[in-house]
Amino acid sequence: SPQLPLLAATGLNKTFGGIQAVKDAKIEVNKSSITGLIGPNGAGKTTLFNLLSNFIRPDQGKVIFDGEPIHNLQPFQIAQQGLIRTFQVAKTLSRLSVLENMLLAAQKQTGENFWQVQFQHHIVAREERELKERAMFLLESVGLETKANDYAGGLSGGQRKLLEMGRALMTNPKLILLDEPAAGVNPRLIDDICDRILKWNREDGLTFLIIEHNMDVIMSLCDRVWVLAEGQNLAVGTPTEIQTNTQVLEAYLGQ
Ligand code: ATP
């Protein structure tokens, strides 16, 4: 029997004022895949991420994750189910250390006053030691172990993206939505970020859905790519199929 996708969304719609940002869109992400989401500026990619994670409520649509409907859950509940997202502009807390950012990400999210939680008081000693070990292990895997005690605010844009990925991994996710992991990143760090994504995918079986304008990144990482244009599904296929699809090329040229 064909394997059910890990994530399957259908009939998603979202209108802001007069603008229909997402129109009857669908997307599927297979388990253990690295799936791409591309499209010209303003195509609705980030809005689609917001709808999948319910950061913005869809006007209509269904989202099934790991066999369960999640479109009526709160974002923190969706994160608890194992669907986690990063943001185009990394939401690291600049006045906390890199390590504290990691530990905060692992906190049981209650949905209330999450950012105000004095997290030190909520972690018992053993749990704290284990969490710190895990945080340090993950910081090493994103190449930030030497920065553990530095303020996150002192990191470069690329390092913040790596920290965001580390933070996402602290939650033991099944699926990570990455919003432009290569944007604003020093080109020397981009290969590094790609290598780490591939490693987490191949070795740890993590599934990724990635918005990215850098086509080299899409080509080198993705098994399958969904294309949005003006809020609608335009195409889906392998990176090679997408790169030679005339409708896709026209959508980008028409920008
Ligand atoms: P980019 O590649 O430039 O990041 P995108 O594909 O992620 O673009 P979105 O950011 O999802 O596109 O935007 C899709 C459309 O919806 C745009 O016309 C945008 O102006 C509009 N839009 C998005 N969010 C809002 C909002 N909160 N309020 C009003 N309009 C919005």
Residue of 38, 44, 37 lying closest to 19 (CA atoms): 44
Nearest CA to ligand 1 atom 8: 42
Selected residue with higher pLDDT from 116 and 182: 182
pLDDT digits (tens, 9 = 90+) for 22-58: 999 999 999 999 999 999 999 999 999 999 999 999 9
pLDDT at residue 1 is higher than 80 = no
| Ligand 1 pocket check for 255: Cβ under 6 Å | no
Which range among 20-24, 124-128, 162-166, 244-248 shows the weakest confidence by mean pLDDT? 124-128
pLDDT of residue 129: 81
Burial class (CB in 10 A: 0-12, 13-18, 19+), 10: middle
Residue whose Cα lies nearest atom 3 of ligand 1: it is 41
Q: What is the DSSP letter of 8?
A: E
Ligand 1 neighbourhood includes 21 CB (under 6 angstroms)? yes
pLDDT at position 189 = 83
The whole-model pTM stands at 0.89
Contact between residue 175 and residue 209 where contact means Cβ atoms under 8 Å apart = yes
Pocket of ligand 1 contains residue 44 by CB under 6 Å: yes
The whole-number pLDDT of residue 115 equals 45
- The share of the chain scoring above pLDDT 90, in percent, equals 63
255: tokens are 């920008």
Of residues 143 and 118, more confidently modeled? 143
Dihedral pair phi/psi, residue 215, rounded to 5°: -70, -25
Percent of the chain with pLDDT over 70: 89
Mean pLDDT of 6-12: 98
Interval 94-115: pLDDT, tens: 788 999 999 888 765 544 444 4
**CA proximity to 7, closest of 42, 54, 76:** 54
Report which residue type is found at 139. L
ipTM for the predicted complex comes to 0.96
Per-residue model confidence as pLDDT tens digits over 77-87: 898 899 998 87
Tell me the pLDDT band of 5, cut-offs 50, 70 and 90: very high
Percentages of the chain per state (helix, strand, coil), in multiples of 5: 40, 25, 35
Q: What are 154's two structure tokens?
A: 């002192």
Q: Is the pLDDT of residue 116 over 60?
A: no
Of ligand 1's listed atoms, the one at least distance from the Cα of 50 is 11
Q: What rounded mean pLDDT belongs to the chain?
A: 88
Q: What is the pLDDT of residue 253?
A: 74
pLDDT band at 15 (very low <50, low <70, confident <90, very high): very high
Q: How far apart are CA 93 and CA 109, in angstroms?
A: 16
What's the CA gap between 189 and 159, in Å, rounded?
8
Which residues are CB-contacts of 203 (< 8 A; sequence separation ≥ 6)?
A: none
- C-alpha of residue 31 to centroid of ligand 1, in Å: 28
Strands of the chain, DSSP E: 7-16, 19-29, 34-38, 60-65, 68-69, 83-85, 175-179, 207-211, 224-229, 232-237
Q: Is 15 in the pocket of ligand 1 (CB under 6 A)?
A: no
The partner residues of 211 in beta bridges, in order of sequence, read 37, 179
User: What digits encode the pLDDT tens for the residues 207-252?
Assistant: 999 999 999 999 999 999 999 999 999 999 999 999 999 999 988 8
Q: In the structure encoding, which two tokens stand for residue 127, read together?
A: 């749990």
pLDDT digits (tens, 9 = 90+) for 171-197: 889 999 999 988 888 888 888 889 999
